[in-house]
Amino acid sequence: MSFSFPTPEEIARLSARALLEIKAVDFNAAEPFTYASGLKGPTYVDCRRIISFPRVRGNLMDFLAATAMRDAGFEAFTNVAGGETAGIPFGAMVAERLGLPMSYVRKKPKGYGRNARIEGRMDESDRVLLVEDLTTDGGSKLSFVDAIRATGAQCGHTAVIFYYGIFQETTQRLADHGVKLHHLCTWWDVLAEAKAQASFDNATLTEVEAFLNDPRGWQEKNS
């Protein structure tokens, strides 16, 4: 295992650039995207595309492993768990880089057999890093963390490639649950890189910035 440790700012810039380059990010103010919550917004990110681009995939996974070690410690974890489904490949790749066992967490018990939520081996003594593709408000992370803790294992950290960074309650919500968030980049990093590369027209970038500054207000205005 060999890692370099770029500054968090450089990791954020390069991660944002990579997401733009593989078209994992889209901005569309004229026809806003509908999110899982039912609300709309002019931004969309699809981190699942990363698995199809080996060079981007490799570098982002190096960044994620390095970020977890730098922020939490070199020996902080004994197990890496991916969240179903998007977090599973990333969890496997981070576990490989850290030289640790890998498991994954189901969204709900599978309903037959052992009716398990945890697949793979996880012991009561484990200190688990939960890996996911992204987080919006942190809600799904809490369910995964609770499933991990139900085994007796510890889980006080989650690492994601992308964090929205526009809902102020997210990090506090996780902290109140005893979980620290580690991430590579946010919408602000993507917007800065999109401006630098002129990836979208000025009108679209202006509308996206308005959304990022006041997402709830923008949604009310454009509902």
Instruction: Confirm whether 37 is domain-assigned.
Output: yes
CATH value at residue 24: 3.40.50.2020
Peptide bond into 171 cis (omega under 30): no
- By the 10 Å C-beta count (0-12 exposed, 13-18 middle, 19+ buried), 2 is classed as exposed
Q: Are 87 and 131 in contact (CB under 8 A)?
A: yes
175-195 burial code (b ≥16 CB/10 A, e <16): eeeebebbbbbbbbbbbebbe
pLDDT at residue number 3: 63
121 lies in some domain: yes
Q: Is residue 15 part of a domain?
A: yes
Identify the burial level of 78 via C-beta atoms within 10 angstroms of its C-beta, where 0-12 means exposed, 13-18 middle and 19 or more buried.
middle
Within-domain flag for 1: no
| Number of domains the chain contains | 1
Digits of tens for pLDDT over the chain (223 positions)? 556 789 999 999 999 999 999 999 999 988 999 876 677 899 999 999 999 999 999 999 999 999 999 999 999 999 999 999 999 999 999 999 999 999 999 998 876 656 689 999 999 999 999 999 999 877 789 999 999 999 999 999 999 999 999 887 889 999 999 999 999 999 999 999 999 999 999 999 999 999 999 988 998 888 7
Radius of gyration of the chain (CA): 18
The pLDDT assigned to 109 comes to 82
Query: Looking at the domain assignment, is residue 28 inside a domain?
Result: yes
**pLDDT at residue 112, as a whole number:** 67
Residue 44 lies in a domain: yes
Residue 3 lies inside a defined structural domain of this protein: no
Euclidean distance between CA atoms 173 and 162, whole angstroms: 17
Q: In this predicted structure, what is the pLDDT of residue 213?
A: 94
Range of the domain at 126: 8-221
